[in-house]
């Protein structure tokens, strides 16, 4: 059995859905106010350039002359003065610029030095060969070594015998003079022991 919906029921249902749609549409819409009175104001300002005063022109002429007469090879530039020159020059009228000193030709600043790159590491200098303290013999051992090798003994630049050397060494120690003992290889592989007295 089929049940047929009457046209009257269809109209009632559509009348109930229409207000619901209207409420949904109104609830989710935004409200904007449009004003109809649009008036634009145009503001025109005429820029009048200030002229440089006589004192400023004199200052400009003095600084410009200073930089124009400087040697290009040995030019020392002070940034505050250059800034002042630019400021005054920009203030001047065309007539003032004609009557003033010509604008100085200031060279560009030198380039910064090139920094070393991260990957480039300078080579490590070789470590000096320093004997360990335990390998340096004391004075008496040196005297014995030289005696066995039939070496030579020197006081300053004078050649002396072993006994004279020992006596002079003992004299220096008791008088507490500063001295330096050097041990070296001489001619024919003979050892040399030398005392140099420091004054």
What does the alpha-carbon distance between residue 54 and residue 96 come to, in Å, rounded to a whole number? 10
Task: Annotate 43-54 with b (16+ C-beta within 10 A) or e (fewer).
Answer: eeeeeeeeebee
Contact 190, 152 (CB under 8 A): yes
Question: Can you give the pLDDT at residue 23?
Answer: 87
Terminal CA-CA length for the chain: 141
Does the pLDDT at position 92 exceed 50? Answer: yes
Nearest partner of 166 among 135, 133, 142, 190, judged by Cα: 142
Query: Poorest-confidence range of 13-17, 84-88, 165-169, 176-180?
Result: 176-180
pLDDT for the residue numbered 70: 87
Report the largest interatomic distance among the alpha carbons of the chain, rounded to a whole angstrom: 151
Dump pLDDT digits (tens) for 111-156. 888 877 777 777 888 876 555 444 445 666 666 666 665 677 777 7
Looking at residue 155, what is its pLDDT? Answer: 74
In 3D space, the residue among 65, 71, 76, 75 whose CA is nearest the CA of residue 104 turns out to be 65
CA atoms of 68 and 102, how far apart (whole Å): 8
The reported pLDDT for the residue numbered 183 is 67
- What digits encode the pLDDT tens for the residues 13-63? 888 888 888 888 888 888 777 777 766 666 766 666 578 889 999 999 999
Average pLDDT over residues 90-113: 87
CB 26 within 8 A of CB 20: no
Note the Cα 179 to chain centre separation in Å.
48
- Name the residue with higher pLDDT: 108 or 93: 93
pTM for the model stands at 0.35
Least confident of 54-58, 108-112, 183-187: 183-187
In the chain, where the domains are located: 54-99, 137-198
């Amino acid at each position: 059995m089929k049940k047929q919906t009457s046209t009257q029921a269809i109209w009632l249902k559509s009348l109930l859905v229409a207000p619901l749609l209207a409420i949904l549409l109104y609830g989710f819409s935004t409200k904007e106010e449009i004003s109809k009175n649009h008036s634009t104001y145009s503001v025109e300002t005429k820029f009048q350039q200030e002229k440089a005063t006589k004192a400023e022109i004199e200052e400009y002429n003095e600084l410009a002359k200073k930089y124009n007469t400087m040697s290009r090879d040995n030019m020392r530039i002070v940034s505050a003065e250059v800034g002042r020159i630019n400021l005054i020059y920009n203030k001047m009228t065309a007539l003032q610029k004609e009557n003033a000193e010509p604008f100085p030709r200031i060279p560009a600043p030198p380039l910064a030095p090139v920094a070393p790159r991260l990957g480039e590491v300078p080579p490590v200098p070789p470590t000096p060969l320093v004997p360990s303290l335990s390998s340096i013999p004391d004075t008496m051992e040196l005297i014995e070594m030289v005696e066995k090798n039939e070496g030579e003994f020197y006081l300053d630049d004078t050649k002396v015998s072993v006994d004279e050397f020992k006596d002079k060494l003992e004299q220096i120690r008791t008088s507490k003079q500063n001295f330096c003992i050097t041990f070296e290889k001489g001619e024919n592989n003979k050892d040399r022991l030398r005392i140099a007295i420091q004054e």
